[in-house]
A and B are shown apart, each in its own frame.
Chain A
Amino acid sequence: MLSVNRTVLLLLLLFPGMLLAGGVYQEPEDFLAEVFNGEVPEAQVIWLTGPRKEVVTQLLGHRYPSLRVRYWRQGQRTAWILEEIGKTEPITTGFIINEGRIDTVKVLVFRESRGWEIRHSFFTDQFDQARLNEQRQLDRTIDGISGATLSVRALKKLAAMALYLDQQARQRDA
């Protein structure tokens, strides 16, 4: 006769047979449709070349794995969908920047085993209205999450990158 422990073990092993649908909290296109009320502007491109590439590399601590970044602009608002590795997997995050300040941060796809807390509003709310200071750092302290140090660090880097690229895009389009 199966003991309670063995029965539970069997059930746990059967769980993965269920439909898999994790990790993706919101598709990027759904995020854009939501933040632009269904009227997503045409995507524009900013190239990560020259000094811009150097600054992004400095902000991330490594080269961004693409030569160009797409963004969407409506008035003073720009939308960015960026990726950065937390511990081992890329975290896909959407940012809305309004007049040089962070308006929205939303983790769209989280692929790691730990650190999922960064997707919750109690964490992302800390970025509200954050901007870059003269040293190109966030102008405020973001409190971390125990056991999610690398995920927190990844999101802080992406926030700084989104703010910097927004500055660059606005300067170029002015």
Chain B
Amino acid sequence: MDNRTSPIASLTAAALLSVSLSATAGDLPSREEMWKIIQQQQKQIEALQKDAQTSTVRIEEANQKATAAVEVAEQSQKSVSSAAAWASKTQLGGYGELHYNNLDSKDEIDLHRVVLLLNHQFTDDVRFVSEIEFEHDGDEVEVEQAYVEFDLNQQTSAKAGVFLMPVGILNETHEPATFYGVERNPVETDIIPTTWWAGGAALGGQIGESGFSYDVAVHEGLKTDISNGYKVRKGRQKSSKADANNLASTARIKWTGMPGVELAATVQYQDDITQGTDDSAGEAWLFEAHAQIERGPLALRALYAYWDLDGDGPEAIGADEQSGFYVEPSYKFSLFDQKLGIFGRYNQWDNQAGNGEVDSEKKQYTAGVNYWPIPDVVLKFDMRQQDNEGEQSNDNGWNLGVGYQF
């Protein structure tokens, strides 16, 4: 095939191309116009770049301003005024419980207690703790705690003022949501006189990483005599112009070296439990031991307490020995975010255990349910059956209660 192009064909093609180019050139801007357009576009690009940089700076500035504003707000929350500073170091809390008792001895509704807690943190190491209780709708007003505590080091603290005795399970932890039963158990009512507080000074600490801790305290003693059968509960002076003729000493050792386990023992000594008012009585010793074990939904509480009162007076009516114990297994169910717990408790106690001829022992079987719609609110129901010795009447029946803490 011949690939050569003829002269006529080449001229025809050149003419067509020339016509085509002249037609296109007529639609395009000139070189000067193109240069102007490019310069305008360059200016626009530069302006956009500047805007973008400005926006970035503004965003960064806005971010910094927002951060600064939050810092100022947070700082002002802490220190805008001395009142705010005081408030930030002062905490208000409380708890309370209302009971309905349907027992052989009574059928009543009682606002058993409403308690206000007011604490102030002077520094990380020095704090004030107080607890003011209104009982039976205000019939009784009691200051159960009012002390200043000092952290001496990471393991040791000391306190002075009115504080709760380091004894038993309920005496220091008795918010309604923390225990089973509408009423507190009788052993920690008649043998350990919960709530038991006293004025004095105490030292407490942890023993290394062992899980052991200790408390020692010197404080106002009990003051009881023959007129109330030497009952220890009647001997609480409640730090109200308390007779300090004969102080008492208390020591506790506690082991909480495993989650959910507490083992503790307390001993207390007082050289005269009558404060010198009764020559026929004198020294008093208290021994107490308890265990609390929680494993998942299962829990067990067990406590034993024993008083030894010296002297012919207590001995004559059997009050030289006062003792009791209880065992309380329980099981807690989870209902979505709510909890339901069932428990049983066997209580046995005697405020005249020293005289075998007097039938003074009391026994009580208690069973019931706690329902926590939220962790800090509890509704309670329990039934009890007593089996008391001798001529003592039984006080049977059931109780309802609502309790709360905040």
Please list the residues of chain A having a beta carbon within 8 angstroms of any beta carbon in chain B.
3-6, 8-9, 12-13, 15-16, 18-25, 45, 65-68, 85, 87-89, 109, 111, 113-114, 116-117, 120-123, 126, 141-147, 149, 153
CB distance A20 to B259 under 8 Å?
A: no
Interface size class of B (residues with CB under 8 A): 35 or more
Q: Which residues of B contact A109 (CB under 8 A)?
A: 124
For B152, B172, B211, B294, the residue with the greatest tally of chain A CB atoms inside 10 Å of its CB is B152
Q: Beyond A21-B151, A145-B259, is A9–B126 a contact (Cβ under 8 Å)?
A: no
Does B26 reach chain A (CB closer than 8 Å)? no
Chain B minimum-CB-distance residue to A45: B67
Q: Could you tell me the distance between the alpha carbons of A52 and B173 in the complex, rounded to whole angstroms?
A: 36
Does B27 reach chain A (CB closer than 8 Å)? no
Q: Mark B199-224, 1 if CB is under 8 A from A, else 0.
A: 01111001001010100111100000
Q: Which residues of A contact B386 (CB under 8 A)?
A: none
CB distance A16 to B158 under 8 Å?
A: yes
CB distance A120 to B209 under 8 Å?
A: yes
Does B373 reach chain A (CB closer than 8 Å)? no
Q: Could you tell me the distance between the alpha carbons of A88 and B121 in the complex, rounded to whole angstroms?
A: 10
Q: Could you tell me the distance between the alpha carbons of A14 and B375 in the complex, rounded to whole angstroms?
A: 40
Chain B minimum-CB-distance residue to A22: B151
- What's the minimum C-beta distance from A62 to chain B, rounded to whole angstroms? 11
- What's the minimum C-beta distance from B76 to chain A, rounded to whole angstroms? 13
For B77, B173, B259, B296, the residue with the greatest tally of chain A CB atoms inside 10 Å of its CB is B259
Q: Could you tell me the distance between the alpha carbons of A85 and B92 in the complex, rounded to whole angstroms?
A: 12
- What's the minimum C-beta distance from B261 to chain A, rounded to whole angstroms? 8
Q: A15-B201, A16-B158, A21-B153 are in contact. List 5 more A-B contacts (CB 8 A).
A: A22-B157, A23-B154, A24-B124, A120-B257, A146-B261
CB distance A21 to B150 under 8 Å?
A: no
Does B258 reach chain A (CB closer than 8 Å)? yes
CB distance A21 to B152 under 8 Å?
A: yes
Q: Could you tell me the distance between the alpha carbons of A13 and B217 in the complex, rounded to whole angstroms?
A: 11
Contact of A149 (CB < 8 Å), options: B129, B178, B200, B259: B178
CB distance B160 to A142 under 8 Å?
A: no
Q: Could you tell me the distance between the alpha carbons of A18 and B156 in the complex, rounded to whole angstroms?
A: 11
Residue pairs across A and B with CB atoms within 8 Å: the count is 141
Q: Could you tell me the distance between the alpha carbons of A68 and B73 in the complex, rounded to whole angstroms?
A: 12
Q: Which residues of A contact B206 (CB under 8 A)?
A: 116
- What's the minimum C-beta distance from A159 to chain B, rounded to whole angstroms? 14
- What's the minimum C-beta distance from A61 to chain B, rounded to whole angstroms? 9
Q: Which residues of B contact A122 (CB under 8 A)?
A: 211, 257-259
CB distance B150 to A15 under 8 Å?
A: yes
Q: Which residues of B contact A18 (CB under 8 A)?
A: 152
- What's the minimum C-beta distance from A146 to chain B, rounded to whole angstroms? 4
Considering the complex of A and B, which 4 residue pairs feature the smallest CB-CB distances, nearest first?
A22-B151, A12-B201, A143-B259, A88-B91
- What's the minimum C-beta distance from B377 to chain A, rounded to whole angstroms? 13
CB distance A117 to B151 under 8 Å?
A: no
Residue contacts A-B, CB under 8 angstroms, 18 given: A5-B247, A5-B249, A6-B218, A8-B216, A12-B216, A16-B148, A21-B151, A22-B151, A22-B156, A25-B154, A88-B117, A89-B119, A113-B129, A122-B211, A143-B260, A146-B292, A146-B294, A147-B262
Q: Could you tell me the distance between the alpha carbons of A45 and B67 in the complex, rounded to whole angstroms?
A: 10
- What's the minimum C-beta distance from A10 to chain B, rounded to whole angstroms? 9
CB distance A9 to B200 under 8 Å?
A: yes
Q: Beyond A9-B247, A111-B124, A147-B262, is A20–B150 a contact (Cβ under 8 Å)?
A: yes
- What's the minimum C-beta distance from B120 to chain A, rounded to whole angstroms? 10
Contact of A8 (CB < 8 Å), options: B172, B213, B249, B256: B249
Q: Beyond A12-B202, A146-B256, is A114–B296 a contact (Cβ under 8 Å)?
A: no
Q: Which residues of B contact A45 (CB under 8 A)?
A: 67
CB distance B218 to A5 under 8 Å?
A: yes
Q: Beyond A111-B127, A117-B211, is A144–B218 a contact (Cβ under 8 Å)?
A: no
